[in-house]
Structure 1
Amino acid sequence: MNESNKAVVFRVGSEEYAFPIQYVISIEKMASTTPIPHLPEYVKGIVKVRGELIPVVDFENILYNRQIEINEGTRFIVLHTPEMSLGVLVKEAKEIVDIPSEKLKQIGLIAYQKTSYFTGVANLDKRLITVIDPLKLIQSLEGIREIQEYMKTHARSEQHS
């Protein structure tokens, strides 16, 4: 692991979280999403970003079981993993920070299945930032396989039209 880890910091509720920068494609203003029926409650719908259709998930719903309030500061962070691309709806995307390895602490909750995507907590100048592994996040989401299948089928049918 390199001495410093760059991460995109964002806010959900009153807490700060971060995704490692290598997974972040872009940070977008909230666009209108196309709702898809029968998907889990945390899925807001799909949106087209740079020609690619991606599902958008409400991270506040995933973490706190409540709908995010959409306002001027609301953003979605476009993540790309080998499994799929995903838009993560957050209260605000704040900054890119360098997290020195010695400031990153593993947390005991990693064994807890519902939060297995929390990989550590960065303790930076009176700030606690929970670092999230996007791959583990995607794998932990209920119903995500169905969403992946839907996206694959939708992408194929779009290529043929």
Structure 2
Amino acid sequence: MNDLPPHSSMDAANKGKLFLLFRIGDQRFALDTHDVVEVLPRLPLKPIAQAPQWVAGVLAHRGDLVPVIDVGALSFGQPAATRTSTRLVLVHYRVDPERPDLLLGLILEQASNTLRCAPEEFLPYGLDNTEAPYLGPVREDAQGLLQWIGVQALLSDEVRQLLFPVAADSGGELA
């Protein structure tokens, strides 16, 4: 006799989105893994002179130059601690239809666990934070509140232009 549950029961157990969990200080956050391209150890970066303090630098990755930001420094002014669990996470940055293959690097502290849950478990927290539109809804569990970070809303228009300058019409050079 087959000891496995019926196929429909297995499907119900696997529903939901998969989230990559990380911390900024003692606060917990989550990214939808659909946005994640690759999770790397924290790698050496080329620093960028005169860049905002939350721009960690640039990474050469498989022939592409990828800007990297420290999400803790961007959000709360707290750069990620150097730990073995601090990761450099490459994400799809899909805000420009003319350049759909952009990558953005994120320095994330304690980014070593995942959670699968229904997106509906994250609820609005009642504050319209226009200064940080990437801070999404929250989910309560036994460890407290977990907040969903929206990757596509991480960068303001000004920061997006700084990190991903649009090529000029003259000769294809960067602006």
TM-score (norm 2): 0.76
Q: How many pairs are equivalent?
A: 150
Match of residue 135 from structure 1: 152
SS at match of 1:145: helix
Equivalent in 31, 40, 56 of residue 52 of structure 2: 40
Range 63-72 or range 31-40, more displaced: 63-72
1:56/1:88 contact within 8 Å kept? yes
Could you say which structure has the greater relative contact order, defined with CA pairs below 8 angstroms and 6 or more residues apart? Answer: 1
Could you tell me which runs of 5 or more consecutive residues in structure 2 were left unpaired when the two chains were aligned.
Answer: 1-14, 96-101
The CA distance in 1 between the partners of 2:160 and 2:51, in whole Å, is 9
Shift in Å, 1:143: 2.6
Shift in Å, 1:94: 2.4
Shift in Å, 1:127: 3.5
Letter of the structure 2 residue corresponding to residue 15 of structure 1: Q
Flag as ranges the 4+ runs of structure 1 deviating above 3 A. Answer: none
The CA distance in 1 between the partners of 2:154 and 2:22, in whole Å, is 15
Alignment of 1:23-38 (within 5 A): 23-38=35-50
Shift in Å, 1:78: 0.9
Larger strand proportion of the pair: 1
SS at match of 1:61: helix
Q: Quote the sequence identity (%).
A: 21
TM-score (norm 1): 0.81
Shift in Å, 1:7: 1.1
SS at match of 1:98: strand
**RMSD of aligned alpha carbons:** 2.2
Per-residue Cα deviation, 1:66-95 (whole angstroms, up to 9, x for no partner): 332223221111111213311111111122
Could you tell me which runs of 5 or more consecutive residues in structure 1 were left unpaired when the two chains were aligned.
Answer: none
Larger helix proportion of the pair: 1
Alignment of 1:2-151 (within 5 A): 4-83=16-95, 84-109=102-127, 111-138=128-155, 140=156, 142-149=158-165
Distance 1:66 1:136, change over 3 A: same
